[in-house]
Structure 1
């Protein structure tokens, strides 16, 4: 399931990377960008912002002018994410809604530091496609016994 904001969260949900980039100048100048290595062209026009980009593989151009790349692979901890946000003086986080608890450490760290978070929502499924939350729901949808 996708993430849902909790108490103390300052989330700004967007429908695309372009929309996320356009929201940034009003939210902060030092951006932690965790949207993956592709699609960074949406952020390239924003010369007044500093971007810390974390990805598993090096990002592909075009890139923002002021970009620092952190090649890393999770899982991440709340303490580690909090330390990273502080060390880089991040004042806004941008991420895609990938759901799941494993990637929520950055969201918890942002909440603890009272940082705004720009969330790029998942696209709507195509007509006729049913989305289920877990294996039990898949089995139920298929009319199979659970377990």
Structure 2
């Protein structure tokens, strides 16, 4: 008998989980991607692209597809999908696990200013009189910063924003991680960066910019993760595989 697993994906952890599950003949693995990236990487097993249509659509999908377990492995800041998954799984009685990489934690020497939203980040930039800012927030969340016309921004994204917000002083850097420490050091030095603005995404792919910032005494304005529903949590693929095995054994 084949068990149907739905992975809400898009992260490195989601791809790793799909790779691990797809080789098991008794499992049928579907990874769902939001569809916000052009030509996204397809996961092992099956891949669907696009939204479900909120809680009603996801509930119907779980029922129609006979899904027996769901792993929410979306980005730490994709909280909307997390809440929809929790409610849909509750309604259908489908077990749900959140696979989430640990958040970054400040260490001695870090100059972090934690904020809960971009308005607070903008206030922090003004309070610290930032002049040359490395903006690493993703292409969909640039607009709030465009009104700061006395700050120069280095904007690093994977794909160009469309449309590009009307920054007065900026440079667009198209680049895909992971980024190694020496490269991040050279970037901060060459661009004379005095402040970094980023999300607490966690993981290793973009963490070296924080090490380079610590070495140089550069301030980091760090947006904290949004609140998520209380569901079982795994920190890595190994823990997730163990949860899936236990869950399917009970069903």
Provide TM-score, normalisation by structure 2.
0.54
The runs of at least 4 aligned residues of structure 1 exceeding 6 Å deviation read: none
| Structure with larger RCO (C-alpha < 8 A, sep 6+) | 1
Unaligned runs of 5+ in 1: none
* Compared CA separation, residues 6 and 37, structure 1 to 2 (3 A): same
**Paired position in structure 2 for 1:88:** 191
RMSD over aligned CA atoms reads 1.8
How far off its partner does 1:66 sit? Answer: 1.0
The match for 2:153 among 33, 51, 65 is: 51
Distance 2:158 2:150 in 1: 26
Structure 2 residue 110 is the aligned partner of structure 1 residue 9: yes
Please say which of residues 135-144 and 115-124 is displaced more in the overlay.
Answer: 135-144
After superposition, what is the alpha-carbon deviation per residue over 1:66-118, rounded to whole angstroms, capped at 9, x for unaligned? Answer: 11100111111111101101101100001111101221110001001110001
- Between the two proteins, the alignment pairs up a number of residues equal to 144
SS of 1:74 mapped into structure 2:
coil
Higher helix fraction (1 or 2): 2
**Paired position in structure 2 for 1:137:** 239
After superposition, what is the alpha-carbon deviation per residue over 1:120-147, rounded to whole angstroms, capped at 9, x for unaligned? Answer: 1111112x433331234334545639xx
Distance 1:143 1:72 in 2: 38
**Equivalent residues of 1:78, 1:106 under 8 A apart:** yes
Structure 2 residue 186 is the aligned partner of structure 1 residue 121: no
Structure 2 residue 119 is the aligned partner of structure 1 residue 22: no
Unaligned runs of 5+ in 2: 1-101
After superposition, what is the alpha-carbon deviation per residue over 1:12-65, rounded to whole angstroms, capped at 9, x for unaligned? Answer: 111122221221122321000011111111101111111000001112332422
**Equivalent residues of 1:40, 1:64 under 8 A apart:** no
Provide TM-score, normalisation by structure 1.
0.89
Distance 1:130 1:20 in 2: 31
SS of 1:44 mapped into structure 2:
helix
How far off its partner does 1:11 sit? Answer: 0.4
* Compared CA separation, residues 81 and 95, structure 1 to 2 (3 A): same
Please identify the structure whose Cα radius of gyration is greater.
2
